[in-house]
Structure 1
Amino acid sequence: MTTCNITFENNSMKIVHSGQSIRGAVQLNLNRDINVRGIYIHMYGGAYTSWRDRLQLCKTHADNEDYLNQRTYLVGATNGHIRLAAGTYNYTFNCKLQSSLPTSFEGKHGFIRYTALVVVDHQNSKEKTFSEPFTVIRDINLNYNPELRNRIIVEKEKLYKRSLILFCWCPDPIKLIIRTPVAAYTPGQVINLDIIVDNKSAVPISNFIALLIREVTYTKPRDSNDQRVERTTITKEIGDGCDKYKNKIILLNIKVPSTPPTDATASNLIKIEYYVHIIGTMPCCRANIRTNFPITIGTFPLRNNMTIQSNQMSNTNSPHSSRNGFSTSYEDDEPPIYKETVQSKGKANTNFKPKYAVFNHTTAYSRSS
Structure 2
Amino acid sequence: MGKLKSFIITFDNNKDVYQVGEIVSGKLIADVTEGIKARGVRVRFHGFAYLQWTESHGTGEEQRTESYSAEETYFDETLTVWGKELGDKAGENPTLPAGYYEFPFQYQLGKKLPSSFEGGIGYVRYYIKGIIDRPWRFNHTTKCAFTILDMYDLNKEKSAMTPSRNQNSKTLCCLCCASGLIELQTQTDRGGYCPGESVLVKGSLENNSNTKITKTSARIIQTVTFYASGRSTSRLHTLSSAVGLGCRGRTSGNIGELVLPIPAAPPSGLRYCSIINITYVAQVRAHISGPHMDLEVYLPIKIGSIPLTTPYGGSQLSEYGPAIPGVPDYPGAAAAPLPPPPTYAAVTGGGASIRDSSDSKFTRGQLTFAPKYMYYDWSQHPQN
Question: TM-score, with normalisation over the residues of structure 1?
Answer: 0.83
Aligned residue in 1 for 2:307: 301
Distance 2:20 2:206 in 1: 47
1:260 to 255, 266, 269: 266
For residues 277-303 of structure 1, the C-alpha deviation after alignment (integer angstroms, 9 at most, x for no partner) is: 111001111121111121111111112
2:195 to 177, 182, 187: 187
Moved more, 19-28 or 260-269: 260-269
Moved more, 84-93 or 341-350: 341-350
Distance 1:217 1:345 in 2: 20
1:1-369 matches, within 5 Å, as 1=2, 2=4, 3-12=6-15, 14-55=16-57, 57-76=64-83, 77-78=85-86, 79=88, 81-161=93-173, 169-220=177-228, 223-224=229-230, 226-250=231-255, 251-305=257-311, 333-343=339-349, 346=352, 351-361=368-378
For residues 75-114 of structure 1, the C-alpha deviation after alignment (integer angstroms, 9 at most, x for no partner) is: 1212273222100111211111112111111113211111
Q: 1:348/1:242 Cα in 2 relative to 1: closer, same or farther (>3 Å)?
A: farther
Cα pair 1:107 1:345 within 8 Å, conserved? no
Q: 1:64/1:178 Cα in 2 relative to 1: closer, same or farther (>3 Å)?
A: same
Aligned residue in 2 for 1:325: none
Aligned residue in 2 for 1:329: none
Cα pair 1:5 1:28 within 8 Å, conserved? yes
Moved more, 332-341 or 16-25: 332-341
Cα pair 1:110 1:346 within 8 Å, conserved? no
Cα pair 2:351 2:370 within 8 Å, conserved? no
The amino acid across from 1:360 in the alignment is: D
RMSD, matched Cα: 2.4
Distance 1:337 1:197 in 2: 39
Q: 1:280/1:103 Cα in 2 relative to 1: closer, same or farther (>3 Å)?
A: same
Cα pair 1:111 1:346 within 8 Å, conserved? no
Shift of 1:182: 0.9
Distance 2:277 2:353 in 1: 16
Moved more, 26-35 or 56-65: 56-65
The amino acid across from 2:194 in the alignment is: T
Secondary structure at 1:263's aligned position in 2? helix
Distance 2:244 2:96 in 1: 67
Shift of 1:351: 2.7
Identity within the alignment, %: 23
The amino acid across from 2:294 in the alignment is: N
Distance 2:54 2:37 in 1: 44
Shift of 1:170: 4.8
Q: 1:131/1:181 Cα in 2 relative to 1: closer, same or farther (>3 Å)?
A: same
Cα pair 1:16 1:22 within 8 Å, conserved? yes
Shift of 1:138: 1.2
Shift of 1:348: 6.7
Q: 1:187/1:345 Cα in 2 relative to 1: closer, same or farther (>3 Å)?
A: same
The amino acid across from 2:284 in the alignment is: I
Cα pair 2:186 2:297 within 8 Å, conserved? no
Distance 2:149 2:236 in 1: 21
Q: Gaps spanning 5+ residues in structure 2: where?
A: 58-62, 314-337, 356-366
Cα pair 1:202 1:244 within 8 Å, conserved? yes
Shift of 1:347: 7.5
The amino acid across from 1:266 in the alignment is: Y
The amino acid across from 1:131 in the alignment is: K
Secondary structure at 2:269's aligned position in 1? coil
Distance 2:151 2:293 in 1: 41
Shift of 1:201: 2.1
Q: Gaps spanning 5+ residues in structure 1: where?
A: 308-331
Cα pair 1:107 1:344 within 8 Å, conserved? no
Q: 1:305/1:160 Cα in 2 relative to 1: closer, same or farther (>3 Å)?
A: farther
Distance 2:172 2:343 in 1: 47
Shift of 1:217: 0.7
For residues 181-219 of structure 1, the C-alpha deviation after alignment (integer angstroms, 9 at most, x for no partner) is: 210111111000002122222222101111211111111
Distance 1:84 1:345 in 2: 34
Q: 1:266/1:22 Cα in 2 relative to 1: closer, same or farther (>3 Å)?
A: same
Shift of 1:53: 2.3
Count the aligned residue pairs: 333
